[in-house]
Structure 1
Amino acid sequence: MAMIIETGYSQHIEALLKRYQQLLAEHNYDYLVIPSGMPIRKYLDDMDYPFKVNPHFKALLPLTDHPHCQIIIPQTGKPQLLYYQPVDFWHTVPADPSGAYTEFFEIQLIARPEQALPLIPKDGRVVLMGRKEGVLEAVSFSAQNPESLVYPLYWDRAYKSAYEVECIWQANRLAAKAHNAARDEFYRGGNEFSINNAYLVAANALENDMPYGNIVALNQNAAILHYTDCQRTTPNKHFSFLIDAGAEVNGYASDITRTYSYAKNDEFADLIQAMDEMHLNLLEQIKPQQSYVDLHVQAHHRIADILKRFDFVTASADALVESGVSSAFFPHGLGHQLGLQVHDVGGHQSEKAGGTTPPPQEHPFLRNTRTIEQHQVLTVEPGLYFIDSLLDDVKQTDLNDAINWEKINQFKVFGGIRIEDDILVTADGHRNLSREAFAEVE
């Protein structure tokens, strides 16, 4: 793995630095400063929140736990890395710079953040890409996060290099192993806390290493889309388990969701299987130049068809979608761009220069409206839930009498179903990184 990533990184960083320097030249900027960021101090405390690196910084360097560093990219020539390595006995000191990235930067060690100040260019037009905080507050920048640079960078982030694909694939592999450990703990009768711990141990990670807060939901908690309470008590009876959790490699995320029935052979298990089959069939529609918005709408029709097949409704799939009732069962978007951030940037961007293509009015939570293109990595995550507040709204519609409320009430104990895979768009279709990862670890 290390050799593949190091080889791919060299090609990735060469192309990315060329892209940055072309943008600087095109817009007549002399230097670009990209800080790694700094920890945020807790209010009325002497401790910090967990550090999260500037995504622009980790696009260039696989350093995700290195605050107070600065990258300086000139319009021409070799970029500089101001590498923060303090003299400290309170915290772990970063190791000496090593790895493939070191040959692409002139590296200057700094022991204190303020030592970066005399090394940051003062002459010419200097741009900041990130937050102006800490020592950077003393610097007069010509521009901060200018749209002329940001929009092209966001647009291009959707097209993954071989290095980036390998990092996301390895993050899927790590997450798949942890998903299986969590599943096994569920079938042992564990509670949400013990299941989450099983996941973290298998991923060899701490909670703060996760790309987002793990969603570990038993029974009716699966109806809460971003559930993170992680209860310590074991329910009197296990019905279902939904887990939405990923992993991170070199700052690149995976994002996978699976749903299980405790009984394994009840009607809820059949419903999960129907959703999984629908999900895989939906993926077959993915290829370059397809509309992701159309794919989302198609998912609504297919979920509505499942609702009818399982006798939750008597209305047709078309009627459920056109009336908006299908959104009560599938309220979120089908997926999003994935990469340096879980919900990666640029999902609503219209073109490289900027602009916004909003989601359809009837589907406001769809995070991706871009045309599907080769080298994109997208999540696809259809869901079917039994959410009280949304179902109450359905009772006020003309389709109230077409809903089998008795059966829906019986299924509320399961919460809901979501199945999510990470998909690389290829020249003639797709590669399912998540299914590949599960196949390998199993």
Structure 2
Amino acid sequence: MNAADPLVRHSPDSLDALYTAHLAEQQRRTEHALQRGGFDALLIASGVEKFAFLDDRPYVFQPNPHFKLWVPLVRQTDSWLVIRPGHRPRLVYCQPEDYWHVPPAAPSGFWVEHFELIVVRKPADALPYLQLPGRLAIVGEADAALGDIVPNNPPEVLNPLHFARAAKTGYELLRLREASALGAKAHLASQRAFREGLSEAGIHNAYLAACGFAERDLPYGNIVALNEHAAVLHYQYQDQQAPAQSLSLLVDAGAHSCGYASDITRTTGNGDASFQALIDAMEAAQLRLVDQVRAGVDYRDIHLASHREIAGVLRQLGIVRMDEEAMVAQRVTATFLPHGIGHLLGLQVHDIGGFMAGEDGGAIAKPEGHPYLRLTRVLQAGMVVTIEPGLYFIPMLLDQLRATPASSQVDWALVKHLSAFGGVRIEDDVACRAEGAPENLTRDAFDALDALDGIGAQG
């Protein structure tokens, strides 16, 4: 993200202070993990470029998240970090001499002074700087191996690192706020494109232009769904032609800042009263669920609460005429909300460690009958999670509902009408605080944009 962007409110001094504290915390966590596992040093591979089978066309590079936890680098292949107790972290930075492609720029910026920096021209040149005495924990994919430096990914080191990573440092929260600001800006552009009648592909392009990303830079593939496509949870296509009538738009898309992702979903209607009533009811339900993101709360309870909220919406709008508790007990709500309420967010869109019972690993079970929930831990300060309830009209699930006794309590005419709109999902990125109400990164980003628009209008 451009530091000149008016949504970025940190000074260089505050950024450096936050980053310094962030590195100190990562050093502390790593030394703790190494001691627990009986290792002397941690080596982290950034990763290597991968190619399509029988082809010389590369896939989009995805860096090792352990690597970008330490350095704000997301495109650097064949580089390494060396973390040792009591030592400054070493970065072996591969900057090849290349006239076929643009090589990585020389290392620069606020972060460089914190590292012992070694620049190499070929991947194999990194090897002498990685061959250390003692027992080495080497984190990376198998194809990152160099000579006798072969990734072993020891769980006794990775487990405590993954468990701790759920709680974000101040520096990480800053980056996540920046990612939310970019994502919110792009979502507003996508909504304008919808109102102009553009196709899914056109709306997607408007999103990219607004956040200044190429498609390869996105943290995940954008979901841009018009009309009934919104009922496909991970709709993966983008039609080039606009439908005859654009009834609804669901966009699930994010951005990133220095490798930290946002994950935002908004649903927009075309003025139909019944669909707008559904959006409004889901908006209110979503905000009530967001308010439950507090330290000490079991995230599974928020998920179960989401089904009670969906039951309330179904009853309020007359879609299902049943007692709300009965709807949940008979799994009627699962017809309309078949996914989990959310997940951890950070260096990965679905950040690792969501099921971990503790530093030693283990898993906290999902609630019975809810197989798609991605987070089962008790919330603690610093965790950033998504809260993304949805209510969809999915043909195959509706057909299953028709075959149950509850079918007689469904207003199928209203379901038919709303099915043309696909469904509603609203998703915010939410940070858990030590005390009090959570920080809603997504809503804060949209509010900041509204305030800028107001200033512009006054000017």
What CA distance in whole angstroms lies between the structure 2 residues aligned with 1:167 and 1:328?
A: 36
Q: Output the amino acid matched with 1:96.
A: A
Specify which of 245, 248, 256 is matched with residue 237 of structure 1: 245
Matched residue, 2:364: 357
Partner secondary structure for residue 372 of structure 1 = coil
* Preserved CA contact (<8 Å) 2:319 2:414: yes
RMSD between superposed Cα atoms in Å: 1.3
Structure 2 partner of 1:258: 266
What count of residue pairs does the alignment treat as equivalent?
A: 439
Q: Find the residue that maps to 2:405 and give its secondary structure.
A: coil
Amino acid at match of 1:68: D
Residue 154 of structure 1 pairs with residue 170 of structure 2: no
The alpha-carbon deviation at position 157 of structure 1 amounts to 0.8
In structure 2, what is the equivalent of residue 382 of structure 1? 389
The alignment status of 1:318 with 2:325, answered yes or no, reads yes
Once the 2 structures are TM-superposed, how far is the Cα of residue 122 of structure 1 from its aligned partner? 4.9
2: CA distance between counterparts of 1:184 and 1:174?
16
Q: Which residue of 2 aligns with 1:139?
A: 148
Which piece of structure 1 moves more, 301-310 or 243-252? 301-310
Same amino acid, percent of matched pairs: 39
CA contact under 8 A between 1:33 and 1:73: conserved in structure 2? yes
- SS of the aligned residue for 2:297 comes to coil
Q: Deviations over 1:41-88 (max 9, x none)?
A: 111111210111000000011000100001112233122111001111
> Matched residue of 1:399: which SS?
helix
For residues 298 and 445 of structure 2, the distance between their equivalents in structure 1, rounded to whole angstroms, comes to 26
Once the two structures are TM-superposed, the CA of residue 188 in structure 1 deviates from its matched residue by: 0.6
> In the alignment, which of 341, 347, 351 is matched to residue 354 of structure 2?
347
Structure 2 matches for 1:282-297, cutoff 5 A? 282-297=289-304
Pick aligned residue for 2:211 from 203, 213, 217: 203
Q: What do the CA deviations read for 1:263-322 (whole angstroms, capped 9, x no partner)?
A: 2x5210111011101111222223211121111111111111111111111111111111
Aligned residues of 2:131 and 2:149 also touching (Cα < 8 A) = no
Once the two structures are TM-superposed, the CA of residue 2 in structure 1 deviates from its matched residue by 5.9
The one-character-per-residue Cα deviations of 1:191-249 (angstroms, maximum 9, x if unpaired) are: 10000000000000011111110000000000000012011011001110000011000
Pick closer, same or farther for the CA change 1:433–1:140 going to 2, 3 Å.
Answer: closer
What residue in structure 1 maps to residue 124 of structure 2? 114
Aligned to 1:421: 428
Q: Which runs of 5+ in 1 are unaligned?
A: none
SS state at 1:144 partner: coil
Which residue does the alignment assign to 1:95? 105
Matches of 1:26 and 1:346, distance apart in 2:
18
1:429 Cα deviation from its structure 2 partner: 2.1
1:183 corresponds to which residue?
Answer: 191
Aligned amino acid, residue 97 of structure 2: V
Q: State the 1:137 CA deviation.
A: 4.9
CA contact (8 A) 2:259 2:347 kept: yes
Separation in structure 2 between the aligned mates of residue 416 and residue 110 of structure 1, nearest angstrom? 52
Q: Which residue is 2:454 aligned to?
A: none
Q: Match of 2:309, SS?
A: helix
Q: CA deviation at 1:149?
A: 1.0
Shift in Å, 1:119: 2.0
Contact 1:10 1:100 (C-alpha < 8 Å) held by counterparts: no
Aligned to 2:453: none
- Is residue 36–residue 156 contact of structure 2 (8 Å, CA) maintained in 1? no
Are 2:35 and 1:20 aligned?
no
Amino acid at match of 1:156: A
C-alpha distance after superposition, 1:150-179 (max 9, x if no partner): 111111111111100000000000111000
Map 1:30-41; keep pairs closer than 5 Å: 30-41=40-51
Counterpart Cα distance in 1 of 2:84 and 2:359:
23
In the other structure, the counterpart of 2:344 is 337
AA partner of residue 215 (structure 2): E
Report the 3-state secondary structure (helix = DSSP H, G, I; strand = E; otherwise coil) of the residue aligned with 1:379. strand
| Gaps in structure 2 of 5+ consecutive residues | 1-9, 451-459
Q: Secondary structure at the match of 1:133?
A: helix
- Aligned equivalents of 2:253, 2:376: Cα separation in 1: 24
- Partner of 2:419: helix, strand, or coil? helix
1:43 to 53, 63, 74: 53
> Alpha-carbon deviation of 1:118?
2.2
CA contact (8 A) 1:25 1:75 kept: no
One-letter amino acid matched to 1:326: T
Give the Cα separation in 2 of the matches to 1:292 and 1:242: 25
* 2:443 alignment partner in structure 1: 435
**8 Å Cα contact 1:242/1:258 also seen in 2:** yes
Aligned partner of 1:6 in structure 2 is 16
Counterpart-to-counterpart distance in 2, 1:283 and 1:74:
40
| Contact 1:31-1:121 at 8 Å conserved across structures | no
Deviation by residue 1:1-34 (Cα, 9 ceiling, x = unmatched): 4624333111101210222123223332122110
Contact 1:258 1:418 in 2 (8 A): yes
Please, what TM-score do these two structures have when normalized by structure 1? 0.97
Q: Which amino acid aligns with 1:31?
A: A
Code of the residue aligned with 1:316 in structure 2: it is D
- For 2:430, what is the secondary structure of its paired residue? strand
1: CA distance, partners of 2:419 / 2:375: 29
Q: What is the Cα deviation at residue 361 of structure 1?
A: 2.1
Letter in 2 for 1:7: A
**In 1: Cα distance, 2:278 partner to 2:143 partner:** 51
- Asked whether the 8 Å contact 1:148–1:353 carries over to 2, the reply is yes
After superposing the two structures, state which structure 1 stretch, 209-218 or 125-134, moved more. 125-134
